[in-house]
Every structure is written in structure tokens, then in C-alpha cells.
């Protein structure tokens, strides 16, 4: 009675293809959102860690130490249960009894974003430190304000130096979104589990999931490498 | 006050840059111990001195890349405002300093072209993003400036694709396109291979002939003697002697200066 594998992963009435692709799409969206949030946090974190004030540096170090030191899965749990608990309390206070939970997509993006931000902090910080002093001085000498200097000189050069590290961080963010399956988000891994259970073909579906992760990762890595190569042109070989 | 006639014939009321009692201290190290200098419009001033005499630090104080520890600084008729933070003097008004910097061109020893921008983009950056001038108009002027330094055919190259001499000429184009009232040169040929020094000096000589106001920290004795209108010799953070190059280089005006010059001519 076993249906051929090709049909199972296809797009027909018995096929899981469409659901798997949608789930892969959700994985990609979650990864992009997490990475984008992480970029903002990373830029802020790097600014903190490079600040002249000792207490600001302390805040930055605290952030990176905590979020690089706790397993990602634990961060996800803490945010999911902590967030839901806080929301439930708040709703009780407002007069709504019962249990409330935050949308798992948002919780997941925030959790993964925070972890990724901690790693991106280090990427931006070390990239900034590689910047030549003369590049900044040339900007100052022609009268650039702090903002223009940041936007026109520091940001593009830092980004260029940070790019290889950011590529690696992106790859791990893409994979870490699999953790969102444990808080009920039907992304690629969760959808594969559902399909495995329904068809009793775990190897097939987990295999397909693995393939989809690889394809997504490789395509984006290719994009990053292209940008890197284009930028490398200006810095000489 | 009556306007005075400067040596080059340009009419000037007040100095373009005037430093009085300028000092700079790094911890226990006194790099500048009170330097006085007035630069009038049209003057080409060569600042000479042994390494460690404070000449580069002095030049960098003039556009506030270094904040002088003491003394007063007047640029383009404006007193630069400072404030104290603890024991350290800081720039009080960043806007004032940025405004003045945009009218004071700077050429660095290591060129310092922005490595992520092409030559043309480097030249256009300041006028467009600091002065807010029209991009099309700036482009024309930038191309003219590049043509002038002989680099129009390298406009779309990145700095890393150019020789040191070409990079420095591009840096000069980047400075003059801002229409500066005064140009500062910080050892512009010191990082160059000997065979590339000439092409940069030639461009600078052209600028001097135009009557531009220039302050040049240099080790090029021939350039200082033949091109500048005044030579300032720094020693241990103070002005040891200054004067017209024809007087100073004749010898006998200052023993230390003569020894300094003879050391250079022996070398090369």
C-alpha cells in the first residue's frame, strides 16, 4: 500500500511538496527577520563595546557574554515561557482570565535575533578595529560631521570587513530557525516531522528537509560570495 | 587696521591661519612648546624640522586633527572654541570645526584615499556630502581637477589600483575640489618611491604658482628653497628660526638650521 516517494514529496493530492515549500519559505522569512534584527543589535552592541565610557562597554560585554554563553534552545524556551507568563499576568491585571501566549514567530525571531546579534556584535567590532585610522581622518579633515563620517566611510568599510563573518552567522541563523519547531511554529523541520508522522516515512521527509536547508544555505552563500568578490576588487587583491 | 601687502603681492587684511603659543602635550611628553605662526593669503610656507620636532603635530593642530593643549588658534578669522573636560582641552563646537575644516584642505603622508570609492568618487565625496553642492556641477569640477593632476584617465580606478604618486595626486585633486582657502600638506612625498616624488612636487608647484595659500611639512629641501615664500624651522616644539628661503638657505642665519640642511644635502 506504500505510495511511491516521488508522489509523497510531489505536488499532487497525496503529495506534501507544497506544504514543505511553504514551510521552507517560513524558515527563510524567520531567518531573514532574525538576521536583520541581529544586525541592528550587532551594530548597537559594537557601538557599546567600542564606546569610551566604561559602563557602556560593560553593557555591551554583558550582552555578548550572556547570549553567546546560553544554548540557543534555552534562550528560545526562556523567551517563550517568560513572554507568555508576562503576557498572562498582564492580561489578568487587565481583567482577562486564562492563559495567553505570544505568537511563536515573534518570540522565535526575537530569541534567535538576540543570539545572532551577540555574534554580529563581535563581527562588527573586529571589522571596525581593522579600519585604517587615515580613512577616518580623511573624512574629518574635509569637514564631515559624525553622522556623514559614519554613513559614508565607517559603515561601508566596516561592513566590507565584516562580510565573511556575517556570511557564517547567516548560515547558522538559517539552521537555528529549526529551534522554532519546539515552540509550535510550523517551519521546515516541524512540517517534515508532521509529514513523517502521517506517512511513516521519516527518512524521506527529513532527507528532503536536509536538502532544502542545504539549497537555501548554498544559494544565499553564493550571493554573499558574489558581493564579497565585487567589494574585494576595490581593496586590491 | 590697514590691509598689508604680503610678500607675494596678494592683498590680505588678517592672516588665513594664526596660531599663538600653541602647545601640545601627550602625557609627560611636550611635543609643542608654544608655536606662533601667521599664514597670510598667498603665502607658501614650508615647515622644516628633524623628526620629533613637532612639525606634523603642529600642522595637524591647524585643522584640529589634534586638539592643542594650550594657546589660541584663529582659522579664517574665527577663533576656534575649546572647552575643558577635566584636565584635557576639547573642541567646544564641532560644527564650527567641521565648517572650518571644509575650507582647509589636507593632504596626508599616506594619501588616505577612501579605499571603497573610485578616484572620481573620492574627489566628489566632500563637495557633494559635506558642502551639499549639486552632483552634476561637482562632477564637472572633479573631472577638471583630475585632469589638472593628470589622472582623468584613472577616474574610475580604485585607489589600490594606482601607484603612490597617482594616489597622492588624486588626494590633491580631492583637496582642491573643495575650493579651500588654504591647503595643508603633511609630508606629502615621504611615503613615495623616489622616482614618484617629482610628479607630486610638480603638481604642488603648480598650485603655489596659482597664488594658493599653502603650509607644507616636508623634507624636500629643494622644494622648500625654490617654491616656498617662507621657511619655518621647528626644533623641539618651538620655532627656531624662520624667514625667506633665499636668506635662510644662504647660510649663516642660524647654525642649527645650517647643520640640518647640510645633513640633507650630504644625504642626497
Per-residue confidence (pLDDT) for residue A171, from 0 to 100: 94
Classify residue A15 as exposed, middle or buried by CB count within 10 Å of its CB (0-12, 13-18, 19+). middle
> Residue B212's beta-bridge partner residues?
none
Structurally, how many domains does chain B consist of? Answer: 1
Q: Which residues in B lie closer than 8 A to residue A155 (C-beta atoms)?
A: none
Which residue on chain B is closest to A144 by alpha carbon? B130
Kindly tell me if the per-residue pLDDT of A162 is higher than 70: yes
The domains of chain A are located at 5-234
Kindly tell me if the per-residue pLDDT of B266 is higher than 90: no
Per-residue confidence (pLDDT) for residue B13, from 0 to 100: 66
Task: State the pLDDT confidence band at A9, using cuts at 50, 70 and 90.
Answer: confident
CB-closest option in B99, B125, B131 to A152: B125
Asked whether residue B75 is assigned to any structural domain, the reply reads no
Integer CA distances (angstroms), B101 to A140, B30, B63, B90, B138, in order: 8, 25, 6, 16, 19
Integer CA distances (angstroms), A165 to A117, A162, A173, A191, in order: 12, 6, 12, 30
Do B248 and B233 form a contact (C-beta atoms < 8 A)? yes
The arithmetic mean of pLDDT across residues A49-73, rounded, is 95
CB contact under 8 A, B108 and A156: no
Q: Tell me: the pLDDT tens digits for A62-73?
A: 999 999 999 999
**Pick from A209, A183, A171: nearest CA to A73:** A183
B204 CA: distance to closest CA in chain A (Å): 19
Per-residue confidence (pLDDT) for residue A44, from 0 to 100: 96
CB contact under 8 A, A134 and B98: no
Assign residue B65 a region (left: φ > 0; alpha: ψ between -120 and 50; beta: otherwise): alpha
Task: State the pLDDT confidence band at B47, using cuts at 50, 70 and 90.
Answer: very high
Q: Which residues in B lie closer than 8 A to residue A233 (C-beta atoms)?
A: 158
∠ Cα A26 A30 A31 (to 5°): 115
Asked if the A5-234 domain carries CATH number 3.40.50.180, the reply is no
Kindly tell me if the per-residue pLDDT of A140 is higher than 50: yes
**Pick from B81, B123, B169, B93: nearest CA to A138:** B123
ipTM of the complex: 0.90
Do A236 and B160 form a contact (C-beta atoms < 8 A)? yes
Per-residue confidence (pLDDT) for residue B5, from 0 to 100: 45
The arithmetic mean of pLDDT across residues B34-46, rounded, is 96
Query: Which residues span the domain enclosing B131?
Result: 104-180
The arithmetic mean of pLDDT across residues A75-79, rounded, is 93
Q: Tell me: the pLDDT tens digits for B150-164?
A: 999 999 999 999 999
CB hemisphere CA count around B7 (13 angstroms): 14
Asked whether residue B217 is assigned to any structural domain, the reply reads no
Do A105 and A180 form a contact (C-beta atoms < 8 A)? yes
Q: Which residues in B lie closer than 8 A to residue A157 (C-beta atoms)?
A: 114-116
Q: Tell me: the pLDDT tens digits for A80-93?
A: 988 888 888 888 88
Asked whether residue B66 is assigned to any structural domain, the reply reads no
Find the largest Cα–Cα distance for chain A: 78
Per-residue confidence (pLDDT) for residue B4, from 0 to 100: 45
Q: What is the residue whose three cell numbers read 556570511?
A: A167
Asked whether residue B185 is assigned to any structural domain, the reply reads no
Q: What is the pTM of this model?
A: 0.84
Per-residue confidence (pLDDT) for residue A5, from 0 to 100: 78
CB-closest option in A134, A148, A157 to B116: A157
Distance CA(B78)–CA(B93), nearest Å, equals 12
Kindly tell me if the per-residue pLDDT of B59 is higher than 60: yes
Asked whether residue B83 is assigned to any structural domain, the reply reads no
Per-residue confidence (pLDDT) for residue A167, from 0 to 100: 93
Per-residue confidence (pLDDT) for residue A216, from 0 to 100: 93
The chain-wide mean pLDDT, for chain A, equals 90
∠ Cα B186 B192 B196 (to 5°): 120
> Residue B185's beta-bridge partner residues?
B107, B216
**Dihedral sign for Cα atoms in the order A140, A133, B165, B59:** positive
Task: State the pLDDT confidence band at B100, using cuts at 50, 70 and 90.
Answer: very high
Kindly tell me if the per-residue pLDDT of B267 is higher than 80: no
Kindly tell me if the per-residue pLDDT of A200 is higher than 60: yes
CB-closest option in B98, B110, B115 to A143: B98
One-character DSSP codes across A88-100: HHHHHHTT--S--
Per-residue confidence (pLDDT) for residue A235, from 0 to 100: 64
Classify residue A165 as exposed, middle or buried by CB count within 10 Å of its CB (0-12, 13-18, 19+). middle
CB contact under 8 A, B130 and A143: yes
Q: Which residues in A lie closer than 8 A to residue B61 (C-beta atoms)?
A: none
Amino acid at each position: 500500500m506504500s505510495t511511491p516517494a516521488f508522489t509523497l514529496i510531489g505536488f499532487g493530492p497525496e503529495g506534501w511538496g507544497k506544504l514543505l515549500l511553504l514551510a521552507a519559505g517560513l524558515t527563510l522569512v524567520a531567518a531573514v527577520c532574525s538576521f536583520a534584527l541581529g544586525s541592528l543589535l550587532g551594530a548597537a552592541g559594537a557601538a557599546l563595546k567600542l564606546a569610551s565610557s566604561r559602563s557602556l562597554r560593560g553593557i555591551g560585554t554583558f550582552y555578548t557574554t550572556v547570549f553567546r554563553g546560553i544554548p540557543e534552545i534555552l534562550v528560545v524556551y526562556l523567551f517563550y515561557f517568560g513572554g507568555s507568563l508576562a503576557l498572562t499576568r498582564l492580561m489578568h491585571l487587565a481583567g482577562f482570565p486564562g492563559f495567553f501566549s505570544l505568537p511563536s514567530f515573534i518570540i522565535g525571531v526575537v530569541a534567535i535575533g538576540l543570539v545572532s546579534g551577540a555574534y554580529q556584535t563581535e563581527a562588527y567590532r573586529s571589522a571596525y578595529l581593522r579600519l585604517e585610522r587615515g580613512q577616518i581622518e580623511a573624512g574629518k579633515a574635509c569637514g564631515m560631521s559624525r553622522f556623514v563620517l559614519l554613513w559614508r566611510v565607517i559603515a561601508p568599510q566596516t561592513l566590507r570587513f565584516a562580510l565573511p563573518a556575517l556570511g557564517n552567522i547567516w548560515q547558522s541563523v538559517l539552521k537555528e530557525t529549526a529551534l522554532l519547531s519546539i515552540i509550535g511554529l510550523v517551519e521546515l523541520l516541524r512540517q517534515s516531522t508532521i509529514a513523517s508522522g502521517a506517512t511513516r516515512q521519516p527518512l524521506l521527509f527529513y532527507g528532503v528537509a536536509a536538502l532544502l536547508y542545504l539549497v537555501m544555505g548554498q544559494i544565499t552563500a553564493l550571493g554573499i560570495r558574489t558581493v564579497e568578490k565585487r567589494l574585494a576588487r576595490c581593496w586590491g587583491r | 587696521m590697514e590691509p598689508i601687502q604680503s610678500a607675494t603681492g596678494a592683498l590680505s587684511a588678517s592672516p588665513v591661519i594664526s596660531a599663538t603659543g600653541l602647545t601640545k602635550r601627550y602625557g609627560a611628553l611636550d611635543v609643542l612648546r608654544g608655536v606662533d605662526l601667521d599664514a597670510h593669503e598667498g603665502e607658501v610656507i614650508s615647515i622644516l624640522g628633524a623628526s620629533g620636532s613637532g612639525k606634523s603635530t603642529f600642522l595637524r593642530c591647524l585643522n584640529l586633527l589634534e586638539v592643542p593643549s594650550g594657546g589660541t588658534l584663529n582659522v579664517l578669522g574665527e577663533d576656534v572654541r575649546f572647552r575643558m573636560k577635566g584636565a584635557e582641552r576639547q573642541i567646544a563646537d564641532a560644527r564650527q570645526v567641521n565648517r572650518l575644516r571644509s575650507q582647509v584642505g589636507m593632504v596626508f603622508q599616506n594619501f588616505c584615499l577612501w579605499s571603497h570609492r573610485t578616484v572620481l568618487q573620492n574627489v566628489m565625496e566632500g563637495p557633494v556630502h559635506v558642502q551639499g553642492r549639486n552632483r552634476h556641477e561637482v562632477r564637472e569640477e572633479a573631472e577638471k581637477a583630475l585632469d589638472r593632476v593628470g589622472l582623468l584617465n584613472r577616474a574610475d580606478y580604485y585607489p589600490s589600483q594606482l601607484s603612490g604618486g597617482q594616489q597622492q595626486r588624486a588626494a590633491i585633486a580631492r583637496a582642491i575640489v573643495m575650493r579651500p582657502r588654504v591647503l595643508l600638506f603633511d609630508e606629502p612625498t615621504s611615503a613615495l618611491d623616489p622616482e614618484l616624488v617629482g610628479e607630486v612636487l610638480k603638481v604642488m608647484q603648480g598650485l603655489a604658482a596659482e597664488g594658493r595659500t599653502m603650509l607644507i611639512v616636508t623634507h624636500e629641501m629643494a622644494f622648500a628653497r625654490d617654491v616656498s615664500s617662507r621657511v619655518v624651522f621647528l626644533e623641539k616644539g618651538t620655532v627656531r628660526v624662520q624667514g625667506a628661503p633665499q636668506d635662510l638657505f644662504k647660510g649663516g642665519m642660524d647654525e642649527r638650521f645650517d647643520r640640518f640642511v647640510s645633513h640633507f644635502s650630504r644625504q642626497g
